[in-house]
Amino acid sequence: MAKTDNPSIARISRADAMAMPLAPAPATRRLDWRKRMSDTVAYALLAYTALQIVVTMHALSQNTSSMLPLFALVVLVAAIIPLFRHYESRWNGLDDAAAADPLRAPAFRRDQVAVWLFAIGLPFAVTGLFKAIVNL
């Protein structure tokens, strides 16, 4: 080791540094389906909200004097929160052992896909339905 002016700082050679053991790897994150579903619902709500605003505002900008696009907006808000809460509560009811069970992966993937299909599809479906009603 080389001598330094500050005794609290020790310089080591590159060879000495390479010979030192590496720090232990950080512990891997524990599998928790509850948290994963909660994250899925949170991100899906963000995407849903963005789509809802874009699709509804597009419908409103088409010079319709009808209140149906605004009604569609209210319906979308009222429908999605209980629906997503249903999916989240199904997974939050698991105990710690069940929440870490890797055999629940297919059920989780099924629910995750359903949440994303609702989040992406519902704004288009309801707005399209209301636009069809207006055109009758």
If one compares 34 and 128, the residue with the highest pLDDT of the two is 34
Question: Using CA atoms, how far apart are residues 76 and 38, in angstroms rounded to an integer?
Answer: 20
Bridge-partner residues for 11, per DSSP?
A: 2
pLDDT digits (tens, 9 = 90+) for 59-109: 767 655 667 667 767 777 777 889 999 999 999 999 999 999 999 999 999
For residue 42, give every residue at least 6 positions away whose Cβ sits within 8 Å of its Cβ, in sequence order, or none. none
Are 70 and 134 within 8 A, CB to CB?
A: no
DSSP class of 135:
T
Predicted local distance difference test score (pLDDT) of residue 133: 78
Predicted local distance difference test score (pLDDT) of residue 52: 84
Predicted local distance difference test score (pLDDT) of residue 10: 60
Question: Using CA atoms, how far apart are residues 118 and 3, in angstroms rounded to an integer?
Answer: 66
* Both structure tokens of 100: 């870490």
In the chain, domain spans: 33-134
In the predicted structure, residue 17 carries a pLDDT above the cut 80: no
In the predicted structure, residue 119 carries a pLDDT above the cut 90: yes
Are 84 and 40 within 8 A, CB to CB?
A: no
Predicted local distance difference test score (pLDDT) of residue 104: 95
Question: Using CA atoms, how far apart are residues 57 and 45, in angstroms rounded to an integer?
Answer: 18
